[in-house]
Chains A and B, each alone.
Chain A
Amino acid sequence: MAEESYLTDDFLRQLMNVGEVDILIGLPTHNNAKTVGSIVHTIQSGILRGFPRERAVIINADGGSRDGTPELVTGVSIDDMRPASNLHTLRTLHSISTKYASNARSASGAAFRTILAAAELLRPKACVVMSPESANIQPEWLSMLLGPIYRDGFDLVTPTYRRHKFEGLLITNLLYPMTRALYGLRIREAYSPEFGFSGRLGSQFLGQNVWNDETEGAGVELRFTLAAIAGKYRICQSFLGDKDRIERHAVDLVPALRQTAGALFSALEPDFPVWSIVTGSQPASTTGPDHEVLLEPLRVSRKRLREMFLAGIGELESVFQSILSPSTLAELQSIAHLDEEGFRYPAELWVRTVYEFAASYQKSVISRDHIIQALAPLFRGRMFTFLTENRNASAGEVEKNIEDLCLEFESLKPYLLQLWKSRE
């Protein structure tokens, strides 16, 4: 059950008025006024096209926007688009908004928790979380993410996208291969701003102890996916098409690592009974292709990545000594001496690095957040290598390189288990 303090009286009153629903759309926001209006329109259009008879509600969990975002969400009327789209709704289509606890360290975690709490009370059969920044969102996304749950009995639908080969490197070089190796299921986008889930999965996850640990819900969407795999819920992937180009802007790496590597490392301890007995991996049920790669020329500054790797190796030696094995550290220091042309951060060394970080995270040899921060320069070194190796690669070659990395993660999994046991 949701904690009483998590829902304000006003929000409870709004939920009471909405009542039981079939479909719940969660929309976490924080100062998204530029995009949120058109996104709500698209969501409404998706509901009318895909679920015209179902009782539906849009739940906006807002982080205290000062640009009028909540008002835009609740003010968008389906009637506004009737002349253009000839859409008509049979039912009242609710859009309600609430402010989530702004003192939470992870805004997305607090927002997601609010959405889950609302779902707990409204008892939807199928839910979806949509990003307020998806510039290329299409009405069909609703059906793609909700349909397998509402109509086919799946519990989690993760998206797959058409991405540029150099987009989503954190996913292709860490999250996807490590998740796959540990949990045994090939979920391409285990951490995504858009995903669908069943009411029963949401209810089960709300009761899990992920909200009050030291991550405070950072990367909770990933934890959600992992919980679904660990709980043996029915999972599938839906191909949504182009990944949003807006997100091509530079993402601050450390927060991104907290939400991905940090969340993944945090899950390993409670999920040890699950992942420790998994060998190999299985493909996930997928609607459409499990990914598509774009090859258009893209200018990427690799030089800066290597410089930051070298700076990290030089400045964080004592931190690395606490985290890494002597041999791994020595190898990293060795490649740091290579010139730019000859620099390579091999897959095997990268996998060992990640596993040693994961084990140290569990041991809490130093502050866990410092461990995550220390991973950043190393990841940049790995990025440099990936960009170099795939500079002229075809889509097939890129995918083969990613697949090879995944297999490396799978083959070295015993090493992680060995590290884990030595901890005990």
Chain B
Amino acid sequence: MPLNRDVLWYKDAIVYQVHVRTFHDSNGDGIGDFQGLEGKLDYLEQLGINTIWLMPFFPSPLRDDGYDIADYNAVHPSYGTLEDFRKFLGAAHDRGIRVIIELVSNHTSDQHPWFQESRSSQDNPRRDWYVWSDTDTRYKGARIIFLDTETSNWAWDPISKSFYWHRFFSHQPDLNYDNPAVREQMWNVMKFWLEMGVDAFRLDAIPYLVEREGTNCENLPETHDVLKELRRKLDEHFPGRMLLAEANQWPADLRPYFGDGDEFHMAFHFPLMPRMFMGLKLEDRKPITEILQQTPEIPPSCQWSLFLRNHDELTLEMVTDMERDYMYDMYAGNKTMRLNLGIRRRLAPLLENDRRRIELMNVMLMSLPGTPIIYYGDEIGMGDNINLGDRNGVRTPMQWNGGWNGGFSAAAPERLYAPLIEDPVYGYPAVNVLRQKASEHSLLNWMQSIITVRKSTAVFGRGSIEFLYPANHRILAYVRRLDNEVVLVVNNLSSSAQAVELDLRRYKGNILIEMFGRNIFPRVGDLPYLLTMGPYQFYWFRLRRI
């Protein structure tokens, strides 16, 4: 299947997030690689996704799972070669699957040659590629992000005998974007991959690119200038490619990253995700409708990116203290599940392996405005291992079958980069692709089905949204509309059966057609439209005037 040439392709994308290390090991060394990933493209094509987002696969000391890059223009030898990547990219494109890669632009590893040069002497030409200071008292307004491990945003470098700035781990020095040479070099990195055919970049940690005294060093105008410059070059040289912003901010603070359609094409909607979990636990639509009401309009060419879980902790930075306490109590009773300001768990364990709730969360993911991202393994309900440190518990090997190493690798189990999940509920003998493919009613087959329905109309990716506010607050209902295409979504957030009356008078005369079974429901009249819904049930109705 050739790639769709629509420049707004990202609006119709179903993204699958995967770390090459975790997916499939082709050479038996216990670590996933590009040849292994390429070998599983048929699976992803069958699932229905049309975009892959790869976590960092570059040479790195791997002290932050690859987000500490030591060479931007190569592939980590554990994952293969540049040629392996090229082959994988071509094979993905042959299947109509685009590829997003990471551009960790804010910082490098302290092992990167740039930093090694920079620290080597005050006179080195690359000295100003990083942010140095004689004191650790500058930029006091900047918060510390990794509260569990860092006590300052400055670290002492014994070699150059000065402090360097880092917003994340101290082994990740921040690049100095006030230096034009850094900006030019980062564009060169992008060009390298774009010329190879990469379709998009996820730009990591972008609010922190520039520092200014007297500010919190986030979302500064100078940062936007840097990003606009990159976007201008991208459009000029590589039209149709896309930039995705990772900025864990409130919607109003995120909005400037779209600019006038001249900065990012997409940005993650971080505050929505925890509120979906909150709404489900509270059995109340309020957290969800409230945050979406606060979400500003974005330029027509732009798109929100939605997710339920990812490789990081379920971040609770963008919630109030009261909401955070509630989320911790409800979803992370065991304190070892908590990390920084978040919860390091996968989707299925978070939802107590309740198939109905897992489905409902995916239904909302697929039908709220934005492009959905599925985290690898969540399509089969994989579990996590909270005994592994940091966020490694949600980065365990993909579970392909119930055989040796879950079909992930032929290596001896002790050589695997991380142990497989082996508990009786989520372990690979119970939860794996092979088993679920064989079961008609498996989560995997259900995910395939909902992706198919989602892709049957552009309304979910491109349409407007209008919330209905039925008096029953357990019901989250909205109408998605694109030109003459109208879809009604009704979600029961409650664990019990509910009746709901919807005010559909403006759609009087329309017939409701349920989109999964294509069954016809009664025509809309003057009276409130009554639906009865089972626990966690949902409906997608296409409204047709026939």
Contact = CB atoms under 8 A, between A and B. Distances in A.
A88 B286 contact: no
A91 B286 contact: yes
Given A90-B286, A91-B284, A52 B322 contact: yes
Interface in B325-354: 326
B322 A17 contact: no
A6 B467 CA distance: 34
Contact of A19 (B323, B470, B498): B498
Contacts of B323: 88, 90
B322 A88 contact: yes
A89 B470 CA distance: 19
Interface string B286-310: 1100000000000000000000000
Given A19-B494, A52-B322, A53-B326, A90 B471 contact: no
Contacts of B285: 92
B479 to A, nearest CB: 20
Contacts of B474: 19
A91 B471 contact: no
Contact of B322 (A16, A20, A55, A90): A90
A94 B471 CA distance: 10
A20 B323 CA distance: 22
Interface residues of B, number: 20
Given A13-B471, A17-B470, A19-B474, A92 B322 contact: no
Contacts of A55: 284
B320 interface: yes
Nearest to A96: B471
A77 interface: no
Name the interface size band of chain A: 10 to 19
B433 to A, nearest CB: 38
A354 to B, nearest CB: 50
Given A16-B499, A53-B326, A92 B284 contact: yes
B472 interface: yes
Contacts of B278: 90
Contact of A90 (B282, B470, B501): B282
B326 A90 contact: yes
B129 to A, nearest CB: 44
B473 interface: yes
Contacts, number: 41
Contacts of B286: 89-92
B326 A17 contact: no
Interface string A128-160: 000000000000000000000000000000000
Contacts of A13: 471, 501
A14 interface: yes
Contacts of B470: 17
B425 to A, nearest CB: 28
B472 A16 contact: yes
A369 to B, nearest CB: 43
Contacts of B326: 53, 90
A374 to B, nearest CB: 51
Interface in A20-37: 20
Among A20, A55, A91, the most chain B Cβ lie within 10 Å of the Cβ of: A91
A7 to B, nearest CB: 16
A169 B494 CA distance: 51
Interface string A89-104: 1111010000000000
Contacts of A53: 282, 326
Contacts of B287: 90
B279 to A, nearest CB: 9
Contacts of A94: 473
A55 B472 CA distance: 13
Contacts of A89: 286
A46 to B, nearest CB: 15
B282 A19 contact: no
Contacts of B496: 19-20
B288 to A, nearest CB: 11
A346 to B, nearest CB: 59
Nearest to B282: A91
A23 B460 CA distance: 38
A14 B286 CA distance: 17
Contacts of A18: 473
Interface in B451-494: 470-474, 494
B329 to A, nearest CB: 8
Nearest to B287: A90
A286 to B, nearest CB: 31
A90 B471 CA distance: 17
Given A52-B322, A88-B322, A90-B323, A17 B282 contact: no
27 contacts: A13-B471, A14-B471, A16-B472, A16-B499, A17-B473, A18-B473, A19-B472, A19-B496, A19-B498, A20-B496, A53-B282, A55-B284, A88-B320, A88-B322, A88-B323, A90-B278, A90-B284, A90-B287, A90-B322, A90-B323, A90-B326, A91-B282, A91-B284, A91-B286, A92-B284, A92-B285, A92-B473
Given A53-B326, A88-B322, A94-B473, 16 more contacts: A16-B472, A16-B499, A17-B470, A19-B494, A19-B496, A19-B498, A20-B496, A52-B322, A53-B282, A89-B286, A90-B278, A90-B282, A90-B287, A91-B286, A92-B286, A92-B473
